[in-house]
Amino acid sequence: QPPRRGQEKNPGLPASPRLPIVCADWAARDEGEPIRSQDSRGLEEGRGGCGLCGPYGPWCTSWPQCPAEAAIPGCWRAGSTPGRRVAADSGSEIKSYLVRLLTYLPGRPIAEIPISPQLLYEIGKLAAKLDKTLQKFHHPKLSSLHRKNFIWNLKNVPLLEKYLYVLGQNRNREIVEHVIHLFKEEVMTKLSHFRECINHGDLNDHNILIESSKSASGNAEYQVSGILDFDDMSYGYYVFELAITIMYMMIESKNPIQVGGHVLAGFESITPLTAVEKGALFLLVCSRFCQSLVMAAYSCQLYPENKDYFMVTAKTGWKHLQQMFDMGQKAVEEIWFETAKSYESGISM
């Protein structure tokens, strides 16, 4: 499968096929050296298998009552097991390895199909439902998801300033600097008015699985069947999850500006935004573009041999960000809000 969106978060990690799983996986080379997949950063950092069970160590006490199961019934299959240590005889000595067995999660990444307005609506609905479900998740170590300096939490957009040198002096940098300035002025001052929740933080088109079925008319219909990669989970706000989802759904769209209205409509069918949250949405989407694009450029400077891998988002991302910037907040919001409103009358645009 193609590399996932947001892969620039793993500098130096070469592209590799993604396993259709909810949690992390580990494997071992023949010589016994543990290696990690794209989803197993948590274990290497001592945080367990993923952002969801990660803070509690590799033996997650919440399994199998995982919030992901509540958000998407059936996304955990019978037979999934938490981590276990096993002993292996390597000849001269017995070594201990951590082995994690996971069942197959069926479905295809939505990146593999053209995304219709109706599917965008369902993805928005999914994002809101997931965050709402995560509010019911309790654990003594849940506070570890307050990741203060986590670069991928939207609250930390100002941290991008120390990486701006990688952009050189050009219009892209001017746009990012302006977005950061507006973020400090118009978002940081309003955080107390946003409703807090736990964010998945990476609902991109390679982290959402779908399954197809035939409708009565014989056409293919798609339903979301699973969510991957909980490694970026952290405390944030409902509007953060929506903004992140809109940004990633825009990346491959032929009509990127139209995307936001459909995702917004689905999200608000579960969690309507407040006026303050809605007023910040445009800037938050721009901010997520900046996070992804700046960190991709930074990673490319560190590991130029992986440039193609890091720059997937940048192929269209800069163009989309510039388009939003040129159109301005009022014009983009008008398209988003009118599209979302059309769902209320039953006639989606």
317-326: pLDDT as tens digits = 999 999 999 9
Q: 73 and 125, same structural domain?
A: no
Q: 150 and 54, same structural domain?
A: no
Mean pLDDT of 278-302: 96
Q: 155 and 52, same structural domain?
A: no
CB 294 within 8 Å of CB 167: yes
pLDDT score at 259: 98
Could you tell me what percent of the chain has a pLDDT over 90?
57
Q: 328 and 192, same structural domain?
A: yes
Q: 156 and 121, same structural domain?
A: yes
> Is the predicted pLDDT of residue 284 greater than 50, yes or no?
yes
Q: pLDDT higher for 22 or 182?
A: 182
> Is the predicted pLDDT of residue 20 greater than 90, yes or no?
no
Q: 118 and 249, same structural domain?
A: yes
DSSP SS3 for 20: coil
> Please, which pLDDT band fits residue 88 given cuts at 50, 70 and 90?
low
CB 175 within 8 Å of CB 322: yes
Give domain status of residue 4, yes or no: no
Model confidence pLDDT, tens digit, residues 211-246? 988 777 778 888 888 999 989 999 999 999 999 999
Mean pLDDT of 293-322: 91
Give domain status of residue 3, yes or no: no
Catalytically annotated residues: 202
> Is the predicted pLDDT of residue 158 greater than 60, yes or no?
yes
Q: Which of 45, 79, 99 is the last residue of a domain?
A: 99
Give domain status of residue 12, yes or no: no
* Residue 40 CB contacts under 8 Å (≥ 6 apart), including other chains: 24, 25, 26, 49
| Residue 24: domain span | 18-99
Q: Which of 99, 125, 145 is the last residue of a domain?
A: 99
Q: 95 and 112, same structural domain?
A: no
Per-residue tokens: 331: 């014009």
> Please, which pLDDT band fits residue 12 given cuts at 50, 70 and 90?
very low
What is the rounded average pLDDT for all residues in the chain?
Answer: 79
Whole-prediction pTM: 0.76
> Please, which pLDDT band fits residue 1 given cuts at 50, 70 and 90?
very low
pLDDT score at 282: 98
Rounded to the nearest angstrom, the gap between the alpha carbon of residue 312 and the centroid of all alpha carbons in its chain is 15
Q: pLDDT higher for 25 or 212?
A: 212
Q: 151 and 298, same structural domain?
A: yes
Integer Cα distance of 275 and 35 in angstroms? 47
Q: 114 and 29, same structural domain?
A: no
Mean pLDDT of 302-311: 87
Lowest mean per-residue pLDDT among 80-89, 123-132, 176-185: 80-89
- Could you give the number of structural domains in the chain? 2
> Please, which pLDDT band fits residue 277 given cuts at 50, 70 and 90?
very high
Mean pLDDT of 19-31: 31
CATH number at residue 191: 3.90.1200.10
* Residue 9 CB contacts under 8 Å (≥ 6 apart), including other chains: 152, 232, 295
Q: pLDDT higher for 102 or 90?
A: 102
